[in-house]
Amino acid sequence: MAPAVPLAVLALAALAAPGLGAAPGCDHPAHRWCSSRDIAAACQVQSRCPSLPHPAAAPVELSLYYESLCPACREFLVLKLFPTWLLLPEEMLSITLVPYGNAQACLMHEAKNFSTYFPVIFCLESGSSVTENLEACLKIYAPELDSGRIAACVQGDTGVALMHHNAQVTEALEPPHQYVPWITVNGKHTDELQALAEASLLGLVCHLYQGEKPEICGGSKAPKFPPGCRR
């Protein structure tokens, strides 16, 4: 009985068979054709390489311009933005926070990492006082951060400089911001985008993301509003 031929060998033989060869000018051996998307494209054999990874899609970029403890800002950050961030994989959603309030600006400056400071900001916005709750929120979500350094930043020149920077970034918005929270999605702001983000942020991000979507997106749909309608 003849020995069985491994499937991999048969697959390579099929790739190299007459009429199924690579494009002229392909200088890669047949066993390398499906090793990367670039090589498959160069040899024009993408349709015969089903195991190739899909190119990564760009994340949906959301920027939030807000005032600390502003009621509408708190509602969006605590009830919409933070839960959406928790539910989605990090490659789907990239968030930029631009707060008006030097305590949060100093927290971001000291923590550096978004996944470190965002839960703390969520905790602060969930309470009644940023300064009074800072110590408790740090203990829960980021015990590695030094509250003394953050307090020194708030009371010193660094906090002033950070606030000045955020003010400049906010003033440079186009169109100019008219209220808070002010939301931009992929660098754009319209009344319709603002309304969609406030109504169903998860649905909006799932709708806009061009890559492979997680199961959580299966039942979420971006609500539809007529252009210019905020609510």
The arithmetic mean of pLDDT across residues 53-62, rounded, is 86
19 pLDDT more than 60: no
The angle formed by the CA atoms of residues 193, 194 and 196, to the nearest 5 degrees, is 65
Distance CA 32, CA 206 (A): 35
Q: Please indicate, yes or no, if residue 41 is contained in any of the structural domains.
A: no
* CATH number of the domain enclosing 69: 3.40.30.10
Model confidence pLDDT, tens digit, residues 136-189: 999 999 999 999 999 999 999 999 999 999 999 999 999 999 999 999 999 999
Q: Please indicate, yes or no, if residue 48 is contained in any of the structural domains.
A: no
Distance CA 187, CA 135 (A): 34
The percentage of the chain sitting over the pLDDT mark of 90, rounded to a whole number, equals 65
Q: Please indicate, yes or no, if residue 227 is contained in any of the structural domains.
A: no
Distance CA 106, CA 146 (A): 11
The tokens for 119 are 């839960």
Q: Please indicate, yes or no, if residue 45 is contained in any of the structural domains.
A: no
- Counting the structural domains of the chain, the total is 1
The arithmetic mean of pLDDT across residues 78-90, rounded, is 96
User: Model's pTM, two decimal places?
Assistant: 0.74
Q: Please indicate, yes or no, if residue 82 is contained in any of the structural domains.
A: yes
Determine the pLDDT at residue 171.
Answer: 95
The arithmetic mean of pLDDT across residues 109-126, rounded, is 96
pLDDT band for position 64 (50/70/90)?
A: very high
Let me know: does 76 contact 110? Beta carbons within 8 Å: no
Q: Please indicate, yes or no, if residue 205 is contained in any of the structural domains.
A: yes
Determine the pLDDT at residue 216.
Answer: 94
Q: Please indicate, yes or no, if residue 99 is contained in any of the structural domains.
A: yes
Let me know: does 166 contact 99? Beta carbons within 8 Å: yes
Domain limits at 77?
60-212
pLDDT band for position 226 (50/70/90)?
A: very low
pLDDT band for position 15 (50/70/90)?
A: very low
Contacts of 86 (CB under 8 A, 6+ apart): none
Q: Please indicate, yes or no, if residue 217 is contained in any of the structural domains.
A: no
